[in-house]
Structure 1
Amino acid sequence: MTQFTSSDAASSAETVTPVSADLTGRTALISGGSRGIGHAIAVALAARGANVALVAKTDTPHPKLAGTVHTAVEDICAAGGNGLAVVGDVRRDEDVSAAVERTVETFGGIDILINNASAIDLSPTEGLDMKRYDLMHDINVRGTFLLSKLAAPHLRASAARHRADAPAGGGESGFTPQILTLSPPLALAEAGLDPVWLGKHLAYTMSKYGMSMTTVGLAEELAADGVVVNSLWPATYIDTAAIRNLATLAGEQGEAMIRGARRVEIVADAAVAVLSGQMTSRDGEGGQRPISGAFLTDEQVLRHLGITDLADYAVDPGSELIPDAFL
C-alpha cells in the first residue's frame, strides 16, 4: 500500500517526465457516470480520444437529478470520443457481465476500468436502516470487486498487447492498463486503522474502505501482469448533486458547503493524469514506471505535475475550501 505524500511529489514541472495524455483508441469502462465526478471523467477521457462505456441504472430522467446514461454518452461523443451506454445495476451479476461483454464486443477490449459507482449514507449505526447498509455494501464493495474481477482478464490482455507493441530494442509503448477506484486513503494509526472515520459513520466508512482494500489487493495481484491499480479521492468537497443534496439538508450551512467546494473538473483532470501514466515512481534501475497501489488525492496529483495554482477549480475562489471526509 502506498500513501502518496507531498514528499513524493515533483518539486517543479521540469522534474516530471510527461507522458502524452492522448488516449486515442484506448477503451475505458466506467461504473456510473451519468452525472457528477464519473461524468466529468468520462468526458475528459473522451476529449483525449478514448472510447468510453458506461454501465449505470439511469435509463430515464430522475425527477430531481439531471442526466441519464444516454445523455452522458451524447456528451462523450460531443467531446470527441466514442460512447457506449449499458443500462445496468452493479449489484446484479448478469448486468456487470453484460457490461464487460458489450464493451469488449464494441471496442475490442478494455484498457481502463474506473470504479466510480457509489452509494452514501452518513447515518450513525443505530440510525441506519439495514436496507441502506446493504445498498452501500452491495454497490461500493461488491460492485467494485465484481466489476474488477470480470474486467481483469481483458486488462491482462491489454497489457500483453502493449508489451508486444513496445519499441524494438527496449522502451515502453507509453501506456499501461489500469484500474482506478474512487475511494479514500485508509487512515492509519500506529496500531492499525485510525478509528476517527469509522466512528463518524461506521457503515459508510466500512464500504468505502472495502473499495480501497481492492486497490491494495489488486495492485499486488495484477502487478506481474503489467496492470496498475490506484485509488483517487478529492481533497475537498466537490460540487456534485450529492453534495448539493447534503447542503439542502444542512440548512443555513448548505450555501457555505457549496462555496467551499471545487468543481468536478479537478478530479477529472487528476484522473486523466493518472490514467495516462503521468504519475510515476522511480524503479530499481533509476527509470520511471507508473505508480501502482497508491492512494492519491486530486490535489496531490496536480501538484506532482507542477500545477500549484488551483484557484480556477474553486466554486468560489474567495471562500475557504472544505476538506473532504477521510483526510
Structure 2
Amino acid sequence: MPSPQESFSDRTLVVSGGSRGIGLAIALGAARRGANVVLLAKTAEPHPKLPGTVYTAVAEVEAAGGKAVAVVGDVRNDEDVARAVDTAVEHFGGIDIVVNNASAIATEPTEALPAKKFDLMMDINLRGTFLLTKAALPHLRGSANPHVLTLAPPINMNPYWLGAHPSYTLSKYGMTLLSLGWAAEYASEKDGAGIGFSCLWPETYIATAAVANGAGGPDMLAASRSPEIMADAAVEILSRPAAEVTGQCFIDSQVLTASGVADLSRYGGGDDPIIDIFIDAPGQGL
C-alpha cells in the first residue's frame, strides 16, 4: 500500500498538466500525505468540454490536506517553466519531486497526420519534459529523496506498436529515453544515490476527459480504471528511496500488486478493462 501520510510532509512536487485527470490525481494522492504542490497548466478559464481549471485543482489539493499554488503557463515555454520552478522555491523552499505529466496525443496514420499535430506532440511530450526537468535539477539536488517521475511507457519494440502510430510512439518513447538517459547521467551524484528518474504507465485505459470525449465515450469510460490507480502507484514509487527506482519503467497495477494491493476492482473498469497501448495483450501486440 502507499506509504503513510507523514512520508510526504514538507515534500514539494511540481506537476505539469495538473489541472485534471492523472496529473491532478497524483497531486491529490501526494496532498493527502501532506505534500506541497505546484501545478503548471494552461487552463485558467473553464473549458466547455474539459472539467476544472488550474485554480479549481489547487482548491482540491488544499481540501485534500496539502498546500498548493497555481502557475498558469505552457510547459513548452522556457519562461513559464522557470516561473513554475521559481514559484516552488519561493513558496516552499525547494523541489523534491517533478511529475512530467503534460502530454499530447494524435494517433492518425502518418499520411493523415498534420505536421502541426506532429510538432505539438514533440513540443509538449519531449521539449516540455526536457525543460521542466532541466529547470528543476539544481533544486532537486537539495532534496533528501529527489525524484523525477515521467508518465511514459516501457519501450516495447514490438512491430505492432512501432507501426500503430509511429509519431505518437516516437514522442512517448522519447520521454522514456530521456528518463532512462537521465538515470544514467546522474547516477553518480550523491554517492550513487542520485536522483530517482523513473517512468509510470497504466496497464489499462484511464477514465480521463480524453477517453470521455473520444469515440464510444460511455462504454470506454466503463471499461477504464479511475485515475486513482495511477495516483496510488505514483505515491508508492515516490515514497521509495530514489536509488531503488531510478532507471525503471513501472506499470501501475504491478506496482500496487507488489506493494500488497490484492484487489484492483476498487479502481473500476469492470471485469475486462481495456488494455492500454504499448502493453502486449491478446488481440493487441500478441
- Structure 1-normalised TM-score? 0.81
Q: Which has the larger radius of gyration?
A: 1
The alpha-carbon distance between structure 1 residues 275 and 74, as it changes in their structure 2 partners (threshold 3 A), is same
Deviation at 1:257, TM superposition (A): 1.9
Given the alignment, which residue of 254, 270, 277 partners 1:325?
277
Given the alignment, which residue of 243, 259, 273 partners 2:222?
259
Q: Within 5 A, what are the aligned runs for 1:142-153? A: 142-153=127-138
The runs of 4+ residues in structure 1 deviating greater than 4 Å are 18-21
**Residue 241 (1) aligns with residue 170 (2):** no
| Counterpart-to-counterpart distance in 2, 1:277 and 1:52 | 19
Q: What's the CA shift string for 1:88-143, capped at 9, x where partnerless?
A: 00111111111111111111000000000001111110000111111111000110
**Residue 271 (1) aligns with residue 234 (2):** yes
- Unpaired runs of 5+ residues, structure 1, are 1-12, 163-175, 188-192, 281-288
Deviation at 1:255, TM superposition (A): 3.6
Q: Which amino acid aligns with 2:120?
A: L
**Residue 291 (1) aligns with residue 254 (2):** no
Given the alignment, which residue of 178, 187, 190 partners 2:147?
178
**Residue 119 (1) aligns with residue 87 (2):** no
Instruction: Report sequence identity in percent.
Output: 54
- 1:123 is paired with a residue whose SS is coil
Q: Is contact 2:100–2:129 with CA below 8 Å preserved after alignment?
A: yes
The alpha-carbon distance between structure 1 residues 261 and 235, as it changes in their structure 2 partners (threshold 3 A), is same
Q: Is contact 2:201–2:251 with CA below 8 Å preserved after alignment?
A: yes
**Residue 51 (1) aligns with residue 19 (2):** no
Q: Which amino acid aligns with 2:274?
A: I
Q: Which amino acid aligns with 1:260?
A: A
| Counterpart-to-counterpart distance in 1, 2:221 and 2:55 | 27
- Structure 2-normalised TM-score? 0.92
Q: Is contact 2:58–2:68 with CA below 8 Å preserved after alignment?
A: yes
Q: Is contact 1:180–1:229 with CA below 8 Å preserved after alignment?
A: yes
**How many equivalent residue pairs?**
274
- 2:149 is paired with a residue whose SS is strand
The residue aligned with 2:195 is 227
- Unpaired runs of 5+ residues, structure 2, are 280-286
Q: Root-mean-square deviation (CA), in Å?
A: 1.6
Q: Is contact 1:91–1:142 with CA below 8 Å preserved after alignment?
A: yes
| Counterpart-to-counterpart distance in 1, 2:59 and 2:3 | 28
Q: Is contact 1:31–1:117 with CA below 8 Å preserved after alignment?
A: yes
The residue aligned with 2:282 is none
Q: Which amino acid aligns with 1:324?
A: D
Q: Within 5 A, what are the aligned runs for 1:168-207? A: 176-187=145-156, 193-207=157-171
- 2:250 is paired with a residue whose SS is strand
